[in-house]
Structure 1
């Protein structure tokens, strides 16, 4: 039919004029990556809660104090939301919380939290159109990535403060460290199947996105958390944090996918891939 031929000509023309945009759109839609970003946010939320209680139960006071300061730095917590955080990470509930959680509960929390690592790995694999890694190869990578992520969260307070120098150093330092984290994240969770250099565009985009969201979180989250706490109680905190995580995870998903497309399409593919551009994968 005439209209079918016309649509085909328009598609061919678009592929020739805007190959990166066409490829990115196709990869996002065909891989259900936006849906994967939402699932990633849900897994992140389900990982955070048991880990938060495990840290409150089994770590020294200094670690809990550091985590509390880092969470305050990340979200700019004040008022009632800050008091709620003190109740979770405070020292008064040490013994009862440890008895309730137990060593078995700690192990279960760590194992269940690796579902977040697995979801992040699938985002990276779908962005690069790679098959799922075998469990025997990927299992230790899930745990290592999760432990490093916890360490990075613990250090958010001093990092954002530039280790005492202030925001003028903290903001660029956060961007540089975030770039390194996302570069390493892709390399680790992809089981080394993609060289370091082609992973750089995705790492830079993800770092820029998370840096921007980190700045806006301090402006939006304190008022939002305190408002929903006053109106809906703890359920309001759940809804607010989950909404924020969806935005963050969807943005990271888009950034990693965009980076993969940019690395595989001209002109960057000729620069980033030694020995010539990679073969196109279907």
Structure 2
């Protein structure tokens, strides 16, 4: 005689179906891929290398322009959406940017270059993991140099022109420039192994994620900077900036991953809509 299923098994069937449906959905696929990508660890590495590379490099570049010597500190304040009090604490960390170019040695610049190339390699490895691509060959390292130079120029222009101004035009200009730069960055670091059309959703998702991170920073990081500066001094401000860079790393790699999921899902949605018609 066939065995009858127990009531407990029958009650668990809808839950199992829901789990299978979620697992097969775009959200489920994205969650599994984020676990394989080790998103948290990559974001921590992004924050560490970014702090070692971008902050000193941008200080040196900005010191060459005395008229905008405080541009980097202003850009950080605008990018995080800080209040006036918190913005002052950030600017106190960069009170003498004009001395950076005069006091930097050749060894210091060489060290920055090494960290910068390592930073570019880390971003490239993250993008390759998102798209399940093999590691690029050693002779493609020149792409890191080009990408780091364009990144430095992009951040410097953003710092000195104030793209994150409160106007609607400034916001749209910042989003459009971010999409273009992120779109090109993926294409450059991946060596053209993924098409432009496939990379566009990731660039748009990352730019929107950075905009959302700015809003989050206004609510969370801005009061944290003010309170940590009182409790821990300048070190407290550095901790909050490092936490913000971790968030940027999550958005950069998570946005690229979301873009791949969207690229794979949109044709299926379009095909389903055609069948219904």
TM-score, length basis structure 2: 0.79
Q: Map 1:1-282 onto structure 2 (within 5 A).
A: 13-14=20-21, 18-55=24-61, 59-75=64-80, 76=82, 78-79=84-85, 80-89=88-97, 91=98, 93=99, 98-99=102-103, 101-137=104-140, 139-157=141-159, 158-160=161-163, 167-218=167-218, 220-265=220-265, 267=267
Aligned positions, number: 256
Are the structure 2 counterparts of residues 29 and 128 from structure 1 closer, same or farther at C-alpha, using a change threshold of 3 Å? Answer: same
State the distance in 2 between where 1:63 and 1:28 align.
40
Q: Aligned-residue CA RMSD in angstroms?
A: 3.1
Structure 1 portions without partners, runs of 5+ = 272-282
Structure 2 portions without partners, runs of 5+ = 272-277
Q: CA deviation at 1:228?
A: 1.6
State the distance in 2 between where 1:60 and 1:266 align.
46
TM-score, length basis structure 1: 0.78
Q: CA deviation at 1:173?
A: 1.1
Tell me whether 79-88 or 184-193 shows the greater mean CA deviation.
Answer: 79-88
State the distance in 1 between where 2:65 and 2:19 align.
62
Q: Deviation per CA, 1:112-162: give whole Å up to 9, x if none.
A: 12222111111111110001111211x121122122222222222425256
Q: Deviation per CA, 1:172-208: give whole Å up to 9, x if none.
A: 1111111111111110110110010010111110010
Larger radius of gyration: 2
